[in-house]
Amino acid sequence: MTVHERSLSASIDPVKLDRLAEVAVRVGLGLREGQDLLLTAPSVALPLVRKVAEHAYKAGAGLVTPILSDEAMTLARYRFGHEASFDRAANWLYEGMAKAFSDNTARLAIVGDNPMLLSGEDPAKVARANKANSKAYQPALEKIVNFDTNWNIIAFPSASWARQMFPDDAEDVAVAKLANAIFAASRVDNDDPMSAWNRHNAVLRERTNWLNGQRFSALHYSAPGTDLTIGLADGHEWEGGASTAKNGITCNANIPTEEVFTTPHCRRVFGHVVSSKPLSYQGTLIDNIAVRFEEGRIVEATASRGEEVLNKVLETDEGARRLGEVALVPHSSPISKSGLLFYNTLFDENAASHIALGQCYSKCFVDGTRLSTAQIIAQGGNQSLIHIDWMIGSDKTDIDGIRADGNRVPVFRKGEWA
């Protein structure tokens, strides 16, 4: 760590950073004694990586293995890499990760890179590199989306991310602001974050229990620019907060989280919808997304900014034009109340109800852990190399649940639970 980086790290409350690491291990992962941990993070997040390792070993971890990335090295590829480089990916690494997850290794991802890092690079190269990486990552991704092992994502307040969010502030002030926002959203800005997470998980469980009891066949969204019906997958199940992986360990996959979510039927989505917040994707800000669905497939798509990147995403594969997730988040969520755009899906998706293009989660089916891929597809689950969330909810959004007999039940009114 450079002198400058050490200076910036002084802007981050060490007590709350330690709490975040502990929450990641105990609440996020539910790490078991003797279990190995595979950890990925940007190199600037080393202060948090070290704290995670400390708490993991205190919890009895077998071996903690970190894999670090670096923004300068990422940019070097785009500026100096030969043309063929952008169709390559580290298959061997992802095959190894898949094997680790099969062997019950837990997975922790720390995010914190500059969300606009690649905004100045050739979008065609970015798209090619992303597609190659998505294909290579598939063996490991399947273990995650099928919840074979316990996993978790948290965030570190890097200077490059902070500058993006608070461009008018001095760097140390921006880092402190971002750190405080992360700590508040992650519920570690109090003396007993474990109890805070227990209470929050209980509220989310109440919501999922109610939705699962309703057995809706579809949801209908009404808002300015939006008239959308999302059919729900046959045998779908709502999830939210803590979930139990196939290895029997209960974990909170995302910290923070405010959503309850399930699997839509990828062939039963009709109508049109507009985004309520910008989507930051691989260094590009995609704003004012507007799409139209027919029989589950996006047949028209526009954006006032980043439209070229949006269309490249939709061309990834057949499943990229269909939905893999639908999630409900009240407009009054803490992240929405903060008024901040994080340029990071981990946070921004928890500010508004959202949908996700691409891969579904097998966990969001009744007895999903026992279903084969063919059964999931037959019940309406989507398959894709991508999974990209974007926000469609606001304080003007009404949502009705539609039962099989056509009866409607209010679910959201003006962006809040009805």
Same domain, 69 and 173: yes
* pLDDT tens digits, 138-167: 999 989 988 999 999 999 999 999 999 999
Domain total in the chain: 2
Answer yes or no: is 249 within a domain: no
Lowest pLDDT segment from 7-11, 104-108, 382-386: 7-11
Residue 391: which residues within 8 A CB-CB, separation 6 or more?
275, 276, 277, 279, 348, 349, 351, 352, 353, 354
Same domain, 33 and 119: yes
pLDDT at 282: 78
| Angle made by CA atoms 297, 359, 311, in degrees to the nearest 5 | 50
Answer yes or no: is 373 within a domain: yes
Answer yes or no: is 192 within a domain: no
Same domain, 407 and 307: yes
pLDDT at 123: 85
- How many Cβ atoms from other residues are within 10 Å of residue 380's Cβ? 23
Same domain, 273 and 364: yes
Lay out the sheet containing 64-69: strands in order across: 64-69, 37-42, 106-111, 151-155
Answer yes or no: is 196 within a domain: no
pLDDT at 262: 98
Same domain, 361 and 228: yes
Q: pLDDT class for 218, splitting at 50, 70, 90?
A: very high
Using alpha carbons, select from 331, 332, 374 the residue that is nearest to residue 354. 331
Which structural domain, as residue segments, surrounds residue 274? 216-237+258-417
| Angle made by CA atoms 275, 279, 284, in degrees to the nearest 5 | 135
* pLDDT tens digits, 290-327: 999 999 999 999 999 999 889 989 999 999 999 999 99
pLDDT at 146: 86
Average pLDDT, the chain: 94
Same domain, 170 and 279: no
- Going from the C-alpha of 162 to that of each of 143, 173, 255, 318, 352, the distances in angstroms are 32, 9, 19, 36, 22
Answer yes or no: is 247 within a domain: no
Residue 74: which residues within 8 A CB-CB, separation 6 or more?
113, 117, 118
Of the two residues 6 and 255, the one the predictor is more confident about is 255
234 close to 379: Cβ distance less than 8 angstroms: yes
Answer yes or no: is 387 within a domain: yes
- Cβ burial, residue 170 (10 Å; 0-12/13-18/19+): exposed
Coil, strand, or helix at residue 353? Answer: coil
Same domain, 145 and 222: no
What is the Cα–Cα distance from 280 to 282, expressed in whole angstroms? 7
Domain C-terminal end among 168, 185, 202:
185
Q: pLDDT class for 362, splitting at 50, 70, 90?
A: confident
On the question of pLDDT at 265 being above 90, the answer is: yes
Q: What is the mean pLDDT of residues 373-387?
A: 95
Q: What is the DSSP letter of 317?
A: -
151 close to 144: Cβ distance less than 8 angstroms: yes
Tokens of 118: 């690649």
What is the Cα–Cα distance from 120 to 75, expressed in whole angstroms? 10
Lowest pLDDT segment from 128-132, 200-204, 257-261, 380-384: 128-132
**β-bridge pairing 64-69 and 37-42:** parallel
Same domain, 30 and 160: yes
Q: What is the DSSP letter of 86?
A: G
Same domain, 262 and 167: no
Q: Domain containing 63 — which CATH number?
A: 3.40.1830.10
Q: pLDDT class for 366, splitting at 50, 70, 90?
A: very high
Residue 365: which residues within 8 A CB-CB, separation 6 or more?
233, 235, 236, 237, 263, 371, 376, 379, 381
